[in-house]
């Protein structure tokens, strides 16, 4: 059996993984779902919410374990798990990207979003005057992020979403190498009706690296909420 370490994306928290975690555990696997700095379960001031703090939080959780892990990231967390794998490839059994940013060396999440003609989320965000954080309206979350999620799950999720998301993790360059990050097996779970990371952008990112397996879900950006059991099956 494997130990799955699950990392959420921007505005979210470990709560988005709850139903997927339950299914993984039902199948006999260990699960650790991490709350990144700035999330509902790990509230931090905006200046403390950085890509470096994200990577440190995940790396420290893995370092406490005496075995390899399957490291999964959703959305923005794709960049996080890539950085972690660069630091400690010997600790990672497999990387799983769930509608996530699988970037080339030197790329950033923001740059990938800016070149995505099918991405509808970025233009709808409201940025602070100093550009240090962004906010997403309830309408944007409902219509673009959660458009295929049941209303009861949306109503539960909205109060748990961070009001402000630091922008530094979006702008931070991913630093990865063929020898370290490139050596770790990778799986990509592609979401076909995604309005945040469009299918076209996902295809571009899948082509960036050798990806051993690609699975497809007829889901929007949050299969963790819209079809968590099916997501768990593919992760297994």
Where in the sequence numbering do the catalytic residues fall?
75
CA separation for the pair 77, 110 (Å, rounded):
13
Using DSSP, state whether 208 is helix, strand or coil. Answer: coil
Of the candidates 38, 4, 40, which has an alpha carbon nearest to the alpha carbon of residue 24?
4
The burial of 3, by beta-carbon neighbours within 10 Å (0-12 exposed, 13-18 middle, 19 or more buried), is given as: middle
Of the candidates 89, 159, 88, 165, which has an alpha carbon nearest to the alpha carbon of residue 122?
165
Of the candidates 75, 68, 130, which has an alpha carbon nearest to the alpha carbon of residue 97?
75
CA separation for the pair 203, 187 (Å, rounded):
13
CA separation for the pair 9, 41 (Å, rounded):
13
């Amino acid at each position: 059996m494997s130990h799955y370490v699950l990392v959420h994306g921007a505005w979210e928290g470990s709560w988005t993984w709850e139903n997927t975690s339950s299914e993984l555990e039902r199948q006999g696997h260990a699960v650790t779902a991490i709350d990144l700095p700035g999330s509902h379960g790990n509230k931090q001031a905006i200046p403390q919410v950085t890509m470096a703090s994200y990577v440190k939080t995940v790396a420290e959780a893995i370092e406490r374990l005496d075995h390899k892990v399957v490291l999964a990231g959703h959305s923005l967390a794709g960049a996080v798990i890539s950085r972690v794998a660069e630091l400690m490839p010997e600790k990672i059994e497999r990387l799983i990207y769930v509608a996530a940013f699988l970037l080339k060396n030197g790329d950033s999440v923001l740059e990938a979003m800016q070149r995505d003609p099918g991405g509808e989320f970025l233009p709808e965000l409201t940025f602070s005057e100093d550009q240090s954080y962004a906010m997403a309206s309830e309408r944007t979350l409902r219509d673009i992020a959660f458009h295929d999620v049941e209303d009861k799950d949306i109503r539960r999720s909205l109060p748990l979403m961070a009001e402000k998301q630091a922008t530094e993790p979006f702008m931070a360059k991913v630093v990865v190498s063929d020898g370290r990050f490139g050596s770790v097996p990778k799986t990509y779970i592609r979401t076909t009706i995604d309005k945040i990371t469009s299918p076209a952008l996902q295809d571009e990112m899948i082509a960036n690296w050798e990806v051993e397996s690609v699975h497809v879900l007829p889901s929007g950006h949050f299969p963790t909420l819209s079809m968590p059991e099916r997501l768990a099956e593919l992760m297994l």
